[in-house]
Amino acid sequence: MRVVCDRCGETVEALVAYDDGRITATAGVYISGGQWDRFMRPGEGAVCDRCMQTDPAYMRAYPGTYWRREGHAP
């Protein structure tokens, strides 16, 4: 599915798995309403990997995870 990131406005290809209407897993995007809310800003519903994994608070919490793509250094 294609999801628009609420932080950078880019459309990203993402996977979101639901079970009984609850989100159980995501790839490519972080969805509000769960454990990621603490890294989200007011009004954000979906944040792409790049934005989340370069967020200072996220990087402090998960220092081993950061966004990588060819040609990009965080």
Question: Which among 13-21, 22-30, 40-48, 66-74 is the span making contact with Zn ion, rule CB under 5 A?
Answer: 40-48
Show the DSSP H helices in 1-74 as ranges. Answer: 49-53, 56-61
Measured from the CB atom, the residue of 21 and 56 that comes closer to Zn ion is: 56
In the bound complex, what is the minimum distance in angstroms from residue 35's beta carbon to Zn ion? 18
Q: Is residue 3 at the binding interface for Zn ion, with CB under 5 A as the rule?
A: no
Contact yes or no for 7/48 (Cβ under 8 A): yes
List interacting residues with Zn ion (CB under 5 A): 5, 7-8, 48, 51
